[in-house]
Every structure is written in C-alpha cells, then in structure tokens.
Structure 1
Amino acid sequence: MNKTLVKGGLIVGLVLLMASCATAPPMAPFSPQSLDGKVSSGDYVAKPENFVVVFDGSSSMAEPYKGSLNTGNSKFAVAKDLVDRMNKTMPALPIQGGMTAFGLGKAPVTTVYGMTDYTQDGLAESLGRVSSPAGTTPMGLGLTEAGTLLKDASGDIAIIVFGDGEENTTTTAALDAANALKEQFGDRACLYTVFVGNTDKGRKLMSDIAATSACGMATSADELASADAMAAFVEKVFLEKAPAKPVAKPAPLPVPQPKISWILSGVNFDLNKAVVRQDAKDILQNDIKILKENPQIRVEVQGHTCDLGDAAYNRSLSDKRANAIKDYLVSQGVAADRLTARGYGEDRPRFPNDSETNRAKNRRVELVPMN
C-alpha cells in the first residue's frame, strides 16, 4: 500500500474528526423496539446461524453526515450509532457473531469481535473499541476478512456492511470481494448494506454489493432512523417465522359396535327349575358364536320368572337361572369377565301372566349387551 496515501489519509481523518468533534451535536435519543416477545413466544426463530458486521472506519467517514439522522455528526459517529441501535434491538438469539473494521489507520482490516456466541454486551464492548476513523478505504479487504471469519461456519449467514461506499483502493475491489463471498457460501449468505454517506456513487456501490446475494438488501441511515424501521430491519436480517407446528391428528373415531340384542326365546326353564335344558344348549350355540366373533361385547345375562310364587322366591330363582346360563357360556369358551348375571324375578314379564302358555314363555333368560 502507498505509504504517502496512508499517511495522508491519517492526517485528513484526524483533521476532519477534530473539526466534527468540536461542533457535533448530541446524538438523537433511541429507545429500541423489543423483539424479545416474538422469539420467546416461539413464533419466530433465528434466521441465520452466523453474522458478521463489516464496519467502515476509514478517513472519509470523518466527514460530516449530510442526511437527516444525527445531522452535523460525522459519518463515522452515525454509523457507530446505527450498529449500536441494531445491537440494542436484537433479541437474545443462539447465533455466532463477529465484527471486522477496515481503515482505522492501523492494519487495513481489524477483527474487533468474534467469531463467538453473540451477546449484546459483547458486541457493544467491541464496538466501543472502534475509536476513530483514519486511513484508506479497503472495503474489499473488509469483506474478504468476513469470509475468513466465517470459513468454518455452518448454516445460514448474514453479512451487514456499514459505510459510505467511498472505496479508494483497488487492492481487492469491494464488488469482486462480494461476488467471492457469493462463490464461497452460495445461497447460505445474505449481504445487507447500510449506506451512511453523501454521494450517489457511494450509494450505488453499496446497493451493488447487496445485490450480489438474492436474499440481501440495501438500505440507508435515514431509512433506519426510527425505532420501528430499525426493528423491521433487524427482523428481516435476523428472524424468520418458526416452522409450522405439526397439527395433531384427531383421535380416530371409535369403531361403531354392532347393536345386538338377543332374546333367547327358546331358552326357557321348567317351573321352579334353574337347569339348562338340552334344547336351550342347542339354541345357545348361535349366541356363543356371535360372542366369540365380537370379543368387545359385554353382556348382562338377565334371568326372569313368571308370577307364580312369592316375589323373594322368584328373585332368587331368576338369579339361579341367570348364573346357570352364564356358567354354561363360560364352559363354552366365553370369558367370564364379559358376563354379568342378574335376576329380575317376576318384575319384567315379556308376556301377560294370564295363561300357562305365557307363563312358560316368561320363565326365560335374555342376553343384553351392556356396551
């Protein structure tokens, strides 16, 4: 690098900085808009896994900024304030961060932060060490250094450049370096530029750098002047909607159970008897088959009597008849825990007890599904 050029840049930067410090008004107050709620709610997650700030600390940044944000301050002071505003607006994110500055009158490029786990305090402390503008503007080397910092990075990348676009060295042209980053990282890297300058030439270069990545964008100090605008910028660079949560599949509807009600009209009993007759056993074979084919069905075995005899006797007799049928079903392979035997005595006649024929029909057992 030309020593005379560097020395001249140092002198010019120092003179401009002293002049701006003597007259610079206080920086505009800034209250960041919090984005923490969007992250803590789970609605948003970190967009990149890594980011690097590339900061212009060259002598041209000592010139007064002519835009509307913090007018009367140097471009250097306005750019530092913008990085500080961005940092204060950023929510806590599990990402890697870094910052490199070019110019500063020392080495052409200086890494001042990272790569490391990002924290607001860590970036703020590192920004504080960027003390004064000086030297030439090797913006291309600043971008190349960002690529070096990120060479081992996995996942997506955001590179944010703050400067005036007044490149005055072609050691590595800024646009060539931006294209090299595109070649190095492909679609994983998004370049964002924040123009803090006064010339159309500088604005165009910053815009062209951002355009090398399809996912990047170019903006300016004045466009980020409000807290809302800075929050929107931080959200675009650092956040994205969380992936949609999988919708829980509704529980399958229960399989409709067959509605079965058997009246074992052929299963009758002799008067005052609870013995299962052979004709009843023959009829029960069909019911046993149905029960075995439908193991989900639970059955109440209901015993009944006619009206002859007193109520207590008939209740006891109906219990015996119900249990006799239950025992027979169990002996034929129907699980006992699916059967509940209960006698109803003479309380539920199916036919009027006005003849011996009807009374014989009422001396019966019915199988009634419970589910």
Structure 2
Amino acid sequence: MKPNFSTLFFVVTIAFLMTACATPYQAVPPFTPVDVDARGHALKTQNVVVILDASSSMDDGYQQWKKFDIATAVVHNMAETIPADAGIKSGLRTYGHDPKFSSKSTLLIDDVGDFDKIGSQKALSTITKAGGTSPLERAIDAAADDLDGLDGNSALIIVTDGKDMGMGPVASATAIKEKIGASLCIYPVLVGDDGGGQWLVDEIARIGGCGFATNADNLARGQQMADFVNKVFIGDMMDSDGDGVADDLDRCPGTPAGVKVDAVGCPLDSDKDGVPDYLDKCPGTPAGVKVDSTGCPLDSDGDGVPDFLDKCPGTPAGVKVDDSGCPVTILDAGASSWTFNNINFEVSKAAIQPSSYGILDEIAAGLAANPRMKVVVEGHTDSTGARAFNMDLSQRRAQAVADYLIGKGISPDRLSAKGYGPDRPVADNDTRLGRSKNRRVQFTRVD
C-alpha cells in the first residue's frame, strides 16, 4: 500500500524539527595553564590518585558541553598545571566505561609513579566515550590499594557527576580514610549540578576531613586550576632553620634555634658591629669601633682599655694603666727624685731578681709617659763590708737598672748610672731596719 502523503509529510516534518532543535555539544573552552612554582616550598601532598567518572551519565549534557568532556578537561588541565619537578607521585583510575572500551568496573589506566605530564595525558586520551554503570565505591576501594605503603601525604581527587550512586561511595570513602588515616585528604570535584551528586561530594569531602569539595565550573580557568593545585599539593615556603624566614628569602641559612633574626633571616646585630647579638659579649659598642670575634672592642696592648678609648696605645704588658689607658706612673711628674727599696738583686751581685721586673716595668712606663724626662739612676748600699766593694757594687747595680730600662725602649740618652755605695745613708746603719732603708735605688731628675 502506498503511504499516505499527509502521514509521510508529518513524519518528515517531525524528524526535521527534531534535528533543527537539537543543539550539538560544544568543545570545552581552551585552557591556558598558569605556572605553579613549587620551588622553595615544602610539599603538602606527595602522592595523588585521580578517579575519573566514565559512567553513562557522564555522556549527558551540562550547559553546552558533555559532562564527560568537562571531566576529562579537568584531569587534563590539572596535569598541565602540576609542576613537573615537584616530586609528586600520581596515578589515574577510571570507573564505568563504555563496554567497547572495557568490561571492568574500574581500571588504573596510569600506574602510580613519578608524575609524568605527557604519560598522564596519553593515558587519559585512551578513554574517548563514557558508558556503563557507576561503581564509584569500587574505584575508591581500589585506590586504597593504589596508595597503600606510599611515603608522605596522599590526595584522592574524584571527578564525577555523583548521579544515582547510592551510599556505596560513602562507605568506601569511610573505609579508605580509616585505612590510610590522617595522611589522606579527599577532594571531590562535581561535574554538573545534580542535587544528589552535590550531597555525595560534600559528604565524601566531610569524611576526608582535610580536603574539600568543589565544582568543575570553578576550575575552568588557568588561575582557578593553579589555585586548586596550590591548595592540594603545595605547602608553605620551606624554612629549614625554623627562624620564620622562608629559605628563598633567607640570607643567613642555618641560624641556630631560638636566635632572633631580621626580615632576611640574619641574626640581629643591634650595635652593627658585625657580631650578632647572640654571640656579642659586649653589646652596645659605639658605631665604627673595631671589635673581635666576640663583639668586644679591640684592646691591642691588652691593658684592659679598648683601643677606641686608649690614649696611650702600646703600653707594655703588665703595666697598670688608668681609665684612659695610660700607665699609672710611679714617677710623679711633680717630684724631683724617687726612691725604691723593692728593686732587689742577687746577694753581693748586680743581677736583678725577677721579682723586681714588675716595678721596673712600671718605672719604664712612667718614663715613656714623660718622654722629656731625664734621670740619674743611683745605686746605694749599707755600710756592711768594704767601702770599695760597695762603691763598685752600687755602680754595677745602677747600671744594671739603666740597662733594663733601655731594654724596655727608654732612650740611653735619657739615663745615666751612678753608684754611691754607703756614702749617702738615709737611716742608721747600726740597725737592721736602717740598713734595709739604705740599700736602695734612687732616680733623680736632671732636666
């Protein structure tokens, strides 16, 4: 029987209208990645398994795109954004599948290993069409084995529409969290706007504890994806010495624990002497003063008065000085003679006893402090023994003292030696005390 013309016209018209009204799905918008610089940062997450929903509901449209195209774009763009040199281990697992692709409910299409951007994207490109059921719980269970035994913190990123999945994924999320513990964070990414799917991703994120749920719409642009990658993978700037200044800004790495530092990580040096406060034994040194390794002003002559205050540098070792670093002279500039009974010699000899070196050094310092002074070094004995012997002995002793002072830097033309023997007593030679007073060295000023 010939077809009725009007019936044929109706069928053709309906077919035409259906074709005309159908809106073909568009390609997802182009993506321009934004660099994520992990240098100088401690990794927050060292391992990640991404679970991609390839079930039949993902073949449906959302706005002007297929949900599966959106989901694969999220995974692809994430791989574009993760720093290649960050040291992350990654794997990609799918579930559902078009029967022509695989009959298995879940597949690890990119084994867990060092993150390889090209390898990850190549594995992703093998799945071109969604289909099959939605056994997300099986994918989560398998991911628990994928992540088992890995060092460091792990992330489970689930890209799904969450549609018509029941409570199985919730139970599996609880199980994987209990198995791996605090080192696992879960980040579900919802594709589309299904109400049940929204509840599911929120609940899985809650179970994960330290992760969060988001929508694929919030990851479409380069900066959005970079922010996501930073939050999931990249931790704070590394601060190896724990001084509060990140390593890439720290000009003084290795600062000891507890030491206060400035904005560039260097120990504080309040007096700017080049020695940090925690090593500075002389804080508050005036600006420009040279210091030693302990931060104390230099004292080149070792007299206890720092160089910047020392008005008499080069004082001989052991000589007493005043606050200005000048010798405390025992040769009072206002006197004309000075008598010393504590310059001792060996018995009947002119050899000076070492115990007398200190007083002689002070005398030398006194002469050095008065460079125009000239003196006669006089030797005196008591009356014990022959006069001629005592005259010779006193002369030799006076000369020995003069020679000692010359050896300390006093010019010879400022000194002369004279022995008077017992001829100029100052006390009674008949007494022991008197004789000790007569045995003396006297300095008489001649200028």
Q: Indicate the TM-score class for this superposition, using the shorter chain for normalisation.
A: 0.5 to 0.7
1:301 and 1:159 map into 2 onto residues whose CA distance is 84
Matched AA of 1:101: T
* 2:33 paired with 1:32: yes
- Which residue number in structure 2 is paired with residue 96 of structure 1? 89
Matched AA of 1:94: G
Displacement, 1:254? 4.0
2:445 and 2:169 map into 1 onto residues whose CA distance is 104
1:129 and 1:114 map into 2 onto residues whose CA distance is 14
2:24 and 2:214 map into 1 onto residues whose CA distance is 27
Scaled by the length of structure 1, the TM-score of the pair is 0.66
Unaligned runs of 5+ residues in structure 1 are: 1-20, 67-71, 289-299, 310-316, 325-340, 348-358, 364-371
Distance 1:320 1:82, change over 3 A: farther
- Which residue number in structure 2 is paired with residue 152 of structure 1? 149
Answer with 1 or 2: which has the greater Rg. Answer: 2
Distance 1:263 1:229, change over 3 A: same
Report the number of matched residues.
Answer: 281
For CA contacts below 8 A with separation 6 or more, give which structure has more relative contact order: 1
- Which residue number in structure 2 is paired with residue 58 of structure 1? 55
- Which residue number in structure 1 is paired with residue 46 of structure 2? 49
Displacement, 1:203? 1.2
Bigger fraction of residues in helix:
1
Matched AA of 1:180: A
Displacement, 1:121? 1.7
Quick one: which of 227, 230, 233 aligns to 1:232? 227
- Which residue number in structure 2 is paired with residue 278 of structure 1? 344
2:444 and 2:171 map into 1 onto residues whose CA distance is 103
Scaled by the length of structure 2, the TM-score of the pair is 0.55
Displacement, 1:33? 1.3
Q: Could you list the per-position Cα deviations for residues 93-128 of structure 1 after superposition, in whole angstroms to 9, with x for gaps in the alignment?
A: 112111100011320000011211112222112211
Matched residue of 1:210: which SS?
A: helix
Q: After superposition, where does 1:287-298 map in structure 2 within 5 Å?
A: none
Contact 1:58 1:133 (C-alpha < 8 Å) held by counterparts? yes
Matched AA of 1:203: Q
Among all aligned residue pairs of Structure 1 and Structure 2, give the percentage whose two residues are the same amino acid. 24
Matched AA of 1:215: C
Q: After superposition, where does 1:154-303 map in structure 2 within 5 Å?
A: 154-168=151-165, 173-246=168-241, 247=243, 248=255, 249=259, 250=276, 252-254=279-281, 256=296, 258-259=304-305, 261=321, 262-263=327-328, 265=330, 277-278=343-344, 282=355, 284=357
Q: Name segments (4+ residues, structure 1) moved above 6 Å.
A: 300-303, 344-347
* 2:109 paired with 1:112: yes
- Which residue number in structure 2 is paired with residue 86 of structure 1? 78
Displacement, 1:202? 1.0
CA RMSD after TM alignment: 3.7
Contact 2:34 2:81 (C-alpha < 8 Å) held by counterparts? yes
Contact 1:302 1:343 (C-alpha < 8 Å) held by counterparts? no
Contact 2:45 2:155 (C-alpha < 8 Å) held by counterparts? yes
Q: Could you list the per-position Cα deviations for residues 277-322 of structure 1 after superposition, in whole angstroms to 9, with x for gaps in the alignment?
A: 428954655999xxxxxxxxxxx9797463479xxxxxxx999645
Distance 1:303 1:98, change over 3 A: farther
Displacement, 1:129? 1.7
